[in-house]
């Protein structure tokens, strides 16, 4: 009887732990992946922005520049039936060069005007950017962290090539989640050879790795068992698992040259993730780091050095 009682108590404890784990999995899915207001990021010390960067992000003249441009509004139905919104701005002078910009977590297409202004005004590129699924004016009740977005972007680029011609040369430039998106696209078989270069600013290796890092940092919790079960919930509700959404696996198959950019003061996405990506990239790849730059701040606080490296990289891989 005593043995049966112990077994019963054990089963009861395991059942309680299982219920707690299931509740936690749905909680973290709702917290980070479901499309809703993300209050949990308010006050996050890892996302504190320097005063210099904040001035540019909030009040920079790039915002007025975006407002004054006559972007074409594009629409596309994704492979799984979502209505997506994109925005295209032809260059002042006809060109076969187009930059495709990808925004970060909880951002939108407009945010990439910070970079688009440089490509447009200084380099003379056409610009395309989009609201990723679950963001801005695009459909979707979940955030894909780049995984499904990689296929959306490949479809967007097919539309760009159809519009601008077979000799189109495309540069993909993403920041944070957008950086992971362009890296995830870099290893896809459907990526057209028109894509000549990828710029990945502050990327993460995989969604699982990112959640693992943040779970410990923000909640002081181990990955197991919460992340495996959250991954199962994500697979059921959003159609992808946290581990399959891997930029690291994709760059191992990449053929397109990649420039990695990261701030050494980034505590939201650690620089070591980009170092790991660089070490595992199949294609020609380079990395530049910026001392004192937090998450996604490098372009703002060290613009001259940033654009110097960007131009050097583009000159190597984009025809005159």
Residues of the chain with pLDDT > 70: what percent? 89
Do the Cβ atoms of 251 and 191 come closer than 8 Å? no
Do the Cβ atoms of 290 and 305 come closer than 8 Å? yes
Please report the pLDDT score of residue 47 as a whole number.
60
Residues 6+ apart with CB under 8 A from 170: 97, 98, 99, 100, 157, 160, 161, 192, 194, 195, 196
Burial track 171-184 (b if 16+ CB lie within 10 A, e otherwise): bbbbbbbbbbbbbb
Residues 6+ apart with CB under 8 A from 153: 100, 102, 130, 172, 181, 182, 185
Cα 249 to Cα 302: distance, rounded to the nearest angstrom = 30
pTM of the full predicted structure?
A: 0.93
Residues 6+ apart with CB under 8 A from 30: 36
Q: Structural domain boundaries of the chain?
A: 41-206+245-317
Of the candidates 1, 99, 50, the one whose C-alpha atom is nearest the C-alpha of residue 292 is: 50
Lowest mean pLDDT among 49-63, 85-99, 243-257: 49-63
Mean pLDDT of 112-136: 98
Average pLDDT for the chain: 92
As given in the structure block, the two tokens for residue 47 are 């996302």
With cut-offs at 50, 70 and 90, classify the pLDDT of residue 282. very high
Lowest mean pLDDT among 25-29, 41-45, 218-222: 41-45
Higher pLDDT, 49 or 208: 208
Please report the pLDDT score of residue 218 as a whole number.
87
Cα 200 to Cα 133: distance, rounded to the nearest angstrom = 19
Which of the listed CATH numbers 2.40.110.10, 3.30.200.20, 3.30.1360.120, 3.40.50.1820 matches domain 41-206+245-317? 3.40.50.1820
Please report the pLDDT score of residue 50 as a whole number.
66
pLDDT at 40 over 70: no
Mean pLDDT of 195-199: 98
Counted residue by residue, the chain has a size of 320
Please report the pLDDT score of residue 266 as a whole number.
94
pLDDT at 260 over 60: yes
In DSSP notation, 222-281 reads: -STTHHHHHHHHHHHHHS--TTT-BHHHHHTT--S-EEEEEETT-SSS-HHHHHHHHHT-
Burial class (CB in 10 A: 0-12, 13-18, 19+), 137: middle
pLDDT at 7 over 80: no
């Amino acid at each position: 009887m005593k043995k049966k009682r112990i077994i019963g108590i054990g089963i009861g404890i395991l059942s309680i732990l299982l219920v707690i784990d299931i509740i936690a999995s749905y909680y973290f899915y709702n917290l980070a992946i479901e499309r809703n207001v993300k209050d949990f990021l308010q006050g996050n010390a890892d996302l504190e922005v320097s005063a210099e960067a904040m001035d540019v992000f909030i009040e920079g003249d790039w915002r007025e520049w975006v407002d004054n441009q006559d972007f074409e509004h594009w629409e596309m139905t994704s492979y799984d039936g979502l209505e997506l919104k994109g925005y295209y701005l032809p260059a002042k002078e006809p060109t076969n060069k187009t930059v495709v910009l990808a925004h970060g977590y909880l951002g939108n297409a407009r945010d990439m005007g910070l970079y688009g202004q440089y490509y447009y005004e200084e380099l003379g590129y056409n610009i395309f950017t989009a609201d990723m699924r679950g963001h801005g004016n695009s459909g979707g009740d979940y955030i894909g962290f780049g995984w499904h977005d990689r296929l959306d972007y490949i479809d967007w680029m097919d539309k760009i090539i159809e519009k601008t011609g077979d000799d189109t040369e495309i540069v993909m430039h993403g920041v944070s989640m957008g950086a992971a998106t362009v890296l995830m696209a870099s290893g896809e078989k459907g990526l057209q050879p028109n894509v000549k270069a990828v710029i990945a600013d502050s990327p993460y290796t995989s969604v699982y790795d990112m959640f693992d890092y943040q779970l410990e940092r923000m909640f002081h919790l181990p990955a197991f068992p919460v992340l495996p079960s959250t991954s199962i919930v994500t697979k059921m509700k959003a159609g992808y698992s946290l581990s399959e959404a891997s930029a690291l696996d994709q760059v191992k198959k990449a053929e397109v040259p990649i420039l990695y950019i990261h701030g050494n003061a980034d505590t939201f996405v650690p620089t070591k993730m980009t170092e790991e990506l660089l070490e595992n990239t199949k294609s020609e790849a380079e990395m530049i780091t910026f001392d004192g730059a937090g998450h996604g701040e490098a372009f703002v606080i060290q613009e001259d050095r940033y654009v110097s490296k960007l131009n050097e990289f583009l000159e190597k891989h984009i025809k005159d």
